[in-house]
Amino acid sequence: MRASKYLVPTEKENPADAVVASHRLMIRAGLIRKSGSGFYFYLPLGLRVLKKIENIVREEMDSTGALEFQLPILTPSEFWETSGRWNVMGAEMFRVKDRHDQWYALGPTHEESFSYLVKPLLKSYKDLPINVYQIHTKFRDEIRPRFGVIRSREFIMKDAYSFHLDEASLDATYQEMRSAYRKIFQRCGLKTIPVQADSGSMGGSASEEFMVVSSIGEETLLLCGNCGYNSNSEKTPFVLDPSYSAQGPKEKKEVPTPNKKSIQEVSELLGVRPQDTIKAVAVKNEKESLIVFLRGDLELNEHKLKSYLKWTDLEMIPEPELKSKGLVPGFIGPSDVNSSFKLLLDSSIKKEEAYVVGAGKEDAHIQGYVPGSEIKMEYMVADVALAREGDPCPTCGTSLKAEKGIEVGHIFKLGDKYTKAFQIQVLDQQGKAKILTMGCYGIGVNRTMATVIEQCNDDKGIYWPISIAPFEISLVTLAKGAEQEAKVLEFYENLKNEGFEVFWDERDLGPGFKFKDSELVGFPIRITVGKKFFESGEISIYDRKHDKDESFTFSGFDDLHTRVENLRQELYQELL
């Protein structure tokens, strides 16, 4: 491809609204342009990268026997009502109404659509297992689109769905997808960590996220360097340190705490540690209200709480509502909870030890409060605390390390949530009708592209893994007159005929400008044929990733091919 006939709209300055490297460089390198909040145009160079990632995903999915489909982006509301998610998905789902007053969703995911599609196609156990997928556009109305295409409102996703007669078959495909995902991300040049994850509104018995450690990540990962346990903090069990015990005053009495509502303020006033106190968190859904009591130094993990209660939504109860039901915000103790609420005690609290709690009235707390003997109403006990760095590993007890991560893939064991809702059943070996079990497997294609840039950039720009670079080779030539132009054309044609992907920068621009463009866009290999070649036969091959330039005397195209192919293979080898 000739640069003079291509679109290379590079920019020198960083865009004002881009705060992360991938967003800045995708704009500056001419890969994308912004259309609106959370929406982007893909320019030719960016689209080539996107298509290469899609092809890697497709190759690995096809190698497992998965079958590619293409489904409509618009999905009828009836599909979502059948699964019960029309209301659960909330405001993040784009909804449109047609001229016949029929509601549709711009699909954020396609469990419902694939379930509807395969139901009449699967008749017998002989049709199973089957794994179906598509690589298609999805939509989610993010409250705050950010970081360019990492969190956008329109994105490309590979979503796959497998259908099985039993759990053993589902587990086999789940493990196969897990292996395929490792290969996909490896081929794209990403170092990923599979972590245990919360299934959220997707439902199901198990799930794992494929995370890339990054300072801009929105997820907190808790990792064990001893046994290899990895988990999203949303999913990680809180393990009580064996050495922990409450060390507050043992004598029960009410103490004044004027204008002291926060745990930190109360702890400092009374001379106790935050972990010697108990705090209240009031939450509700559409049907019931709940007061959760946790150790004062811990935070509520809403994901674990929703999972334990089997709630699909959750919100904090505002102070006026608490007051209307007889509670005093900031001073609520376990003995103050009335019949308007359910009560849950986090498992981090030792029920037979003494703590500081709210006294149920303004400006007062109770010290020496022993939950096991003081709480009179029925209550639940569950692990609903957010695990943190330094907490014991749930598997081996070693202190966990926290990292930020970007999620690029997610796999689920969905169970029969959707197959039961859509009544997807086949005749088993005994001729009996059986509801199928299901798996789900997603990869964010755009997000993968941006995350690669987060890992592969320097002060010059991007350095693409050779497997997904827009072109493998940037041929930069500087020629004057017809004779020199004919010679550099020979280089271009020869490399192209040898099967190399060549982006030939023959524009009438200075060498510095061409070099900077090449380094900004991130072509893995640059071949320079310029003034030194016409004077002494010298050309150079530049390795963008390792910032190494090799100059040599041109002795023929066979030698050039060997040198380029050797570097090309070295770069591919680094992906293994």
Identify the structural domains of the chain with CATH numbers, from first to last.
46-69+108-231+402-454 (3.30.930.10), 253-382 (3.90.960.10), 464-573 (3.40.50.800)
Mean pLDDT of all residues belonging to the chain: 96
Pairwise CA distance, residues 386 & 235, whole Å: 9
Q: Distance between CA 175 and CA 197 in Å, rounded?
A: 16
Half-sphere exposure of residue 444: CA atoms within 13 angstroms, side-chain side: 26
**Contact residues for 108 (Cβ-Cβ < 8 A; gap 6+):** 89, 92, 93, 94, 138, 139, 140
Q: Phi and psi at residue 260, in whole multiples of 5°?
A: -110, 100
Q: What is the mean pLDDT of residues 468-490?
A: 94
pLDDT > 70? residue 267:
yes
pLDDT score at 312: 82
User: What one-character-per-residue DSSP string does 329-370 give?
Assistant: TT---GGG--TTSEEEEETTS-TTS-EEEE-SSTTEEEEEE-
Place of tokens 């509807």: 116
Tokens of 106: 């711009």
| Statement: residue 160 has pLDDT above 60 | yes
Number of Cβ within 10 Å of residue 12's Cβ equals 7
Res 203: pLDDT: 55
Kindly tell me the burial class for residue 338, based on how many C-beta atoms sit within 10 Å of its own C-beta (0-12, 13-18, 19 or more). Answer: exposed
Burial of 91: CB neighbours in 10 Å, binned 0-12, 13-18, 19+: exposed
User: What is the structure's pLDDT at 479?
Assistant: 87
Tens of pLDDT, residues 405-414: 999 999 999 9
pLDDT at 198: 76
Predicted confidence at residue 55, as pLDDT, reads: 99
**CB of 222 closer than 8 Å to CB of 233:** yes
How far apart CA 526 and CA 545 sit, in angstroms, is 11
- d(CA 145, CA 466) in angstroms, rounded, equals 30
Residue 31 has pLDDT above 60, yes or no: yes
pLDDT in the model for residue 89? 87
Please list, residue by residue across 536-567, b when 16 or more beta carbons sit within 10 angstroms of its beta carbon and e when fewer do. Answer: eebbbbbbbbeeeeeeeeeeeeeebeebbeeb
DSSP string, 486-555: HHHHHHHHHHHHTT--EEEE--SS-HHHHHHHHHHHT-SEEEEESHHHHHH-EEEEEETTTTEEEEEE--
Say what the pLDDT of residue 206 is.
82
Does a cis peptide bond (omega within 30 degrees of 0) precede residue 129? Answer: yes
pLDDT tens per residue, range 165-210: 999 999 999 999 999 999 999 999 999 999 998 766 555 668 999 9
Residue 301 amino acid letter = N
Asked if residues 516 and 526 have their Cβ atoms less than 8 Å apart, the reply is no
Question: Smallest Cα–Cα separation from 214: which of 391, 448, 465?
Answer: 448
Residue showing tokens 């939504």: 313
Q: Give 124's DSSP letter.
A: B
Segment 15-40 mean pLDDT? 96
Which CA distances in Å does 192 have to 26, 185, 397, 407, 576?
22, 7, 24, 9, 13
Does the pLDDT of residue 221 top 70, yes or no? yes
Percent of the chain exceeding pLDDT 90 equals: 95
Above 90 in pLDDT, residue 340?
Answer: yes
Mean pLDDT of 536-556: 96
Mean pLDDT value of segment 489-500? 96
From CA 144, how far away is CA 414, in angstroms rounded? 28
pLDDT at 481 over 70: yes
Q: Report the share of the chain in percent with pLDDT over 70.
A: 99
575 pLDDT higher than 60: yes
Q: What is the mean pLDDT of residues 77-98?
A: 94
Token digits of residue 353: 């030890």
